[in-house]
Amino acid sequence: MQLSESTLALIKGLRKDQTTQGISTASQLQFYYLEPQAKNIYPMFYPVLASTPRVNPMFNGMKIGGPAVNWKAVVGIDAGGYPGISEGNRNAFMNITTRNYSAAYKYLGKDTQTSYQAQQQGLGFDDNVALARLSLLNALLNDEERMIIFGNSGPASVGGNGYALGTTPTGVLTQVVVAGTNLVPGIPASAQNTVYAVALTPWGVTMASISGVRLPFVRSNADGSQDLINGGTGIISAASNSVVTDAAHTQITVTVNPVVGAVGYAFYVSQNAAPTTANAYFSAVSSTSVATLSVYNTGNQTAAAVDPTSNRGLTTDNSYNTLDFDGGMTWGFGTYGSSQPAYLKDLAGAGFTSGGDGTIVEFEAVADYLWLSYKISIDAIYLGGTLIQSASKAILTSSTGPGAQRLILERDSTGALTGGQLVTEYNWKYSGFATRKTVPIMAHPWIPQGVVWFDLTTNPYPAAGASIPAVRRIVSLEDHFSILWPPRKLQYETGVYCFETQEHYIPFGQAILTGVGNKVN
């Protein structure tokens, strides 16, 4: 049990002699009431995991193993074909396009320890070993949710279905005129400001801190083994052009050409006349490829920093981990450049555009593309960060004022009004069954700011046969299990694990918006 500072102070106070005139609260002759059981106060959120089918690999009624799950797909029939035939003659032989898929099994787990002393001293308050195991399971479920959405095992060249970010494009700088009082600290005056940029995957944004990105590191494991963990970063860009900062220009804007698969960008600022990565300091992580920078802090990470455990920095592509399995969004990013691409668009900081009739222009573009390209309509819309705010506003209003909606606010018997609006569903115009379809729309805490994921979960081609068991599913060699390891010293060592992968039968049947500004255009 981790005691709070106030509780520790109280306990220390109880152990000291107290001399007072008479008896007062300072005498500390009070009953100390500690509620039994530690309270688990941390976020748990895994709707995608909970709604994703899970199966064990089976063959002839028996559970089987192997290094991967493999499948073949017919992805095209009769492209450009015409059915008419002349009298007495047959048609040409029809073309059929097939594709091979494979998803390697990966192994997820969390480990911790509880000392014998902590377990014994916790008797009557909580079972600390059980508490540790529950905490492990909850942490694993949160990370499994992230893995199902944006795990990235890398491109086909390393055996994955994901992607590598490569070298980040060079940024272009412009000055920002700051008029009047500006509460933002601002970048100090300098005759030269130069910026280096680093593209980030969802893991890269998740693992970054306020002082820098996560460099590749060697993790020391509970059993003495080691693993190299990449930080989700692309290769650092070349130095940008330079601009001046002064009393009227305390901020600078950097623009980078968007990178497919990147959901954020880290920026490093140099004020040296001879800029190098060694004299460029971390300024910010932006959810868009166009960012306004206002921080120059020489105490932050430099762009030339190298992790001492791996001896690696930002000059190598650290955007994927071969320990990952590929998430749904990653399967989508991986279709870029293929004959069947998912809808992938970066808004470069632009917000949602209100259609004025309760629609969002960017959502309607997704609907049109998926229907015209694949006759697909999606089943859920997940918004990263706080985008639910601007999405709701775009549906109800427009940037110039009220939209086509009329809001009626009613007072209760006391005259009180309840403000605020939350959109929970979106009318999807296309359906394979010629019926109205409403799609749930929700904020997802593990999806980074600026990202919208349009997810497909229902087989859009049931008439083609029942060969597709699910649009995507978890194939589990071994579902969640816990091991209490043999003691090596006076502590209980325990872990929670699962062995699985995710296969995606229709990776092109989705859409991903990145770089979305939290505003209405």
Q: Is the pLDDT of residue 19 over 70?
A: no
Residue 252: which H helix or E strand, with range? strand 251-255
The whole domain housing 231 covers 172-293
238 vs 44, residue with greater confidence: 238
Neighbour tally for 77: CB within 10 Å: 11
pLDDT (tens digit, 9 = 90+) per residue, 150-189?
999 999 999 999 999 999 999 999 999 886 655 677 899 9
Residue 156 carries which side chain, given as an amino acid letter? A
Strand partners, 88: none
- Tell me the whole-structure pTM to 2 decimals: 0.90
Q: How confident is the model at residue 89 (pLDDT cuts 50, 70, 90)?
A: very high
Q: Is the pLDDT of residue 22 over 70?
A: yes
pLDDT (tens digit, 9 = 90+) per residue, 246-261?
989 999 999 999 999 9
Q: What pLDDT does residue 8 have?
A: 45
Q: Is the pLDDT of residue 238 over 90?
A: yes
The closest alpha carbon to 471, from 206, 148, 114, belongs to 148
29 vs 518, residue with greater confidence: 518
Q: What pLDDT does residue 180 have?
A: 60
Task: Cite the beta strand spans of 445-520 per DSSP E.
Answer: 452-455, 472-485, 491-504, 511-514
Q: Is residue 283 part of a domain?
A: yes
Q: What pLDDT does residue 159 have?
A: 92
Domain count, the chain: 1
Q: What pLDDT does residue 419 have?
A: 67
Query: CA dihedral in degrees (82, 87, 90, 96; nearest 10)?
Result: 10
Q: What pLDDT does residue 181 have?
A: 54
Residue 84 carries which side chain, given as an amino acid letter? G
Cα–Cα distances in Å, from 164 out to 143, 154, 318, 458?
21, 6, 8, 29
Do residues 51 and 150 lie in contact, with contact meaning Cβ atoms separated by under 8 Å? no
Q: Is residue 222 part of a domain?
A: yes
Q: Of 131-140, 369-378, 385-394, 405-414, give the lowest mean pLDDT range.
A: 405-414
pLDDT (tens digit, 9 = 90+) per residue, 304-332?
999 999 999 999 999 999 999 999 999 99
Burial 184-202 (b: 16+ CB within 10 A, else e): eebbeebeebbbbbbbbbb
Residue by residue, what is the 3-state secondary structure of 276-308?
Answer: CHHHEEEEEEECCCEEEECCCCCCCCECCCCEC
Q: How confident is the model at residue 48 (pLDDT cuts 50, 70, 90)?
A: very high
Q: What pLDDT does residue 17 have?
A: 66
Q: Is residue 194 part of a domain?
A: yes
Q: 380-384 and 452-455 as β-strands: parallel, antiparallel, unpaired?
A: antiparallel
Q: Is residue 203 part of a domain?
A: yes
Distance from C-alpha of 14 to C-alpha of 18, rounded to nearest angstrom: 9
> Greatest CA separation found in the chain?
118
Q: Is residue 245 part of a domain?
A: yes
Do residues 207 and 213 lie in contact, with contact meaning Cβ atoms separated by under 8 Å? yes
| Average per-residue pLDDT for the chain | 90
Q: Is the pLDDT of residue 129 over 90?
A: yes
Q: 452-455 and 472-485 as β-strands: parallel, antiparallel, unpaired?
A: unpaired
Q: Is residue 71 part of a domain?
A: no
pLDDT (tens digit, 9 = 90+) per residue, 492-503?
999 999 999 999
How far does the chain reach from its first CA to its final CA, in angstroms?
50
Do residues 126 and 38 lie in contact, with contact meaning Cβ atoms separated by under 8 Å? yes
Structure tokens at 312: 């690696």
Q: Is the pLDDT of residue 411 over 80?
A: no
Q: Is residue 208 part of a domain?
A: yes
Question: How much is the average pLDDT of 253-281?
Answer: 98
Q: Is residue 498 part of a domain?
A: no
